[in-house]
Amino acid sequence: MKELLLKMYEVMLEIRIFEERVITLFVTGEIPGWLHSYIGEEAVATGVCLNLNKNDYIVSTHRGHGHCIAKGVDMNYMMAELFAKETGCCKGRGGSMHIADASVGILSANGIVGGGIPIAAGAAFGSEYKKDGKVTVSFFGDGAAQQGAFHESVNLASIWNLPVIFVCENNFYALSEPCKAPVLPGQTRHLKIENIADRASSYGIRGIIVDGMDVINVYEGIKSIIEDVRQCKGPVLVEAKTYRYKGHFEGDPQYYRTKEEINEWIKKDPILALEKKLIDEKIASSTEIENINKKVAEKVEKAIDYARKSPEPSTNTAFDYIF
Ligand SMILES: Cc1ncc(C[n+]2csc(CCOP(=O)(O)OP(=O)(O)O)c2C)c(N)n1
Ligand SMILES: [Mg+2]
């Protein structure tokens, strides 16, 4: 148990520090493109992915750095991808929103909201057909749960008992639109029901809610269903209630929510909560925690160094990989 808890801490911290450093590099212009930070939501990717085997699949989103790190992507290649370098996991062609690494089952992030959900159902169809025993996890947001692609995919997955877990990361906003009753004039909400997991009943499948700010709760929730899913006893819709501390994208003015609301959620920080538990319950010493902090910080700096020293893609490869 200690080993698992320390692993949870380390993975969440890798995501947090990776994101914090990437933001600074984006602001100074070293990283091009767009950034959608996963800070605050680390417990979801970590709690889910620590239940998966290396060859299980995940399909990620525009906010996908955390999913990829938790699934075990090589951080050097991921950082190089963000730098648009030839050594990146997609040879610098994908960037933040299209990270893929088949060697660890990452079937790609996706800039199209809801676009990954049918891909996940398709991967799970392949697993059911081949009886390869793999599980696919589809990560998506509360906004994506309002897309037609969500309903079609969950419906087909339920009819065919596909081995897929639909993980809705409900961070209560789709860009500037809240799930809950709007507080500002002119604002509209994008969801009328309280729990997205309740939709599971309309597809005849199980729906569960987990606390996306508590890595142990997420881990246990997935653990309780994954073997049934793997054995093709039907997909499950998991709703993780969570929160992004940063704006929708880096540079978002965030006029649609208050500082007070953000601060309330930061009080539930999943990394600080786990650190406190480890220390209070004498599961780990502060030296052990400090060693992990140091190890993670070094790993991220090494990845930045790797990305900086990597070559740009050559211009005569500009038309490669176009089909
Ligand atoms: C099909 C489509 N519609 C709209 C957009 C623009 N867009 C990008 S992210 C986003 C909000 C997504 O919200 P949610 O699914 O809750 O994910 P979150 O950003 O909260 O993680 C929107 C509307 C898009 N990329 N794709
Ligand atoms: Mg959202």
Atom number in ligand 1 closest to CA 174: 13
Write the residue with the smallest CA distance to atom 4 of ligand 1: 113
Locus of tokens 């309309």:
202
DSSP state string for 185-202: TT---S--SS-GGGGGGG
Q: Around ion ligand 2, which residues have CB less than 5 A away? A: 141-142, 171, 174
Q: Ligand 1: residues whose CB is within 6 Å?
A: 62-63, 111-113, 141-144, 171, 173-175, 248
pLDDT at position 188, please?
84
pLDDT at position 110, please?
94
Q: Which of 14, 26, 10, 9 is nearest to 252 (CA)?
A: 26
Write the residue with the smallest CA distance to atom 25 of ligand 1: 112
The dihedral built from the CA positions of residue 249, 251, 255 and 260, taken in this order, carries a sign that is: positive
Pocket test for ligand 1, best of 36, 113, 191 (most atoms within 8 A of CB): 113
Q: Which of 138, 102, 151 is nearest to 229 (CA)?
A: 138
**Cα gap 30→84, rounded to integer Å:** 10
Q: Which of 7, 8, 25, 174 is nearest to 96 (CA)?
A: 25
How many Cβ atoms sit within 10 Å of the Cβ of residue 58? 29
pLDDT at position 186, please?
77
Fill in the DSSP letter of residue 203: G
The residue ranges of the chain whose pLDDT is under 50 are none
**Cα gap 195→239, rounded to integer Å:** 8
pLDDT at position 184, please?
77
Residues 6 or more apart from 21 whose CB is under 8 A from it?
300, 301, 304
Residue 281 phi/psi, 5-degree rounding, is -90, 10
Q: Which tokens sit at 127? A: 């697993």
Measured in angstroms, how far is the CA atom of residue 265 from the centroid of ligand 2? Answer: 15
Contact assessment for residue 139 and residue 237, using Cβ atoms and an 8 Å cutoff: no
Pocket test for ligand 1, best of 42, 60, 61, 62 (most atoms within 8 A of CB): 62
Measured in angstroms, how far is the CA atom of residue 239 from the centroid of ligand 2? Answer: 12
Angle (CA) 128-112-77 rounded to 5° is 80
Residues 6 or more apart from 186 whose CB is under 8 A from it?
none
Distances from the Cα of 96 to the Cαs of 34, 59, 110, 181, 185, in angstroms? Answer: 7, 14, 9, 32, 33
**Cα gap 176→172, rounded to integer Å:** 10
Pocket test for ligand 1, best of 61, 67, 175 (most atoms within 8 A of CB): 175
Contact assessment for residue 207 and residue 201, using Cβ atoms and an 8 Å cutoff: yes
Q: Which helix (H) or strand (E) holds 241?
A: strand 236-241
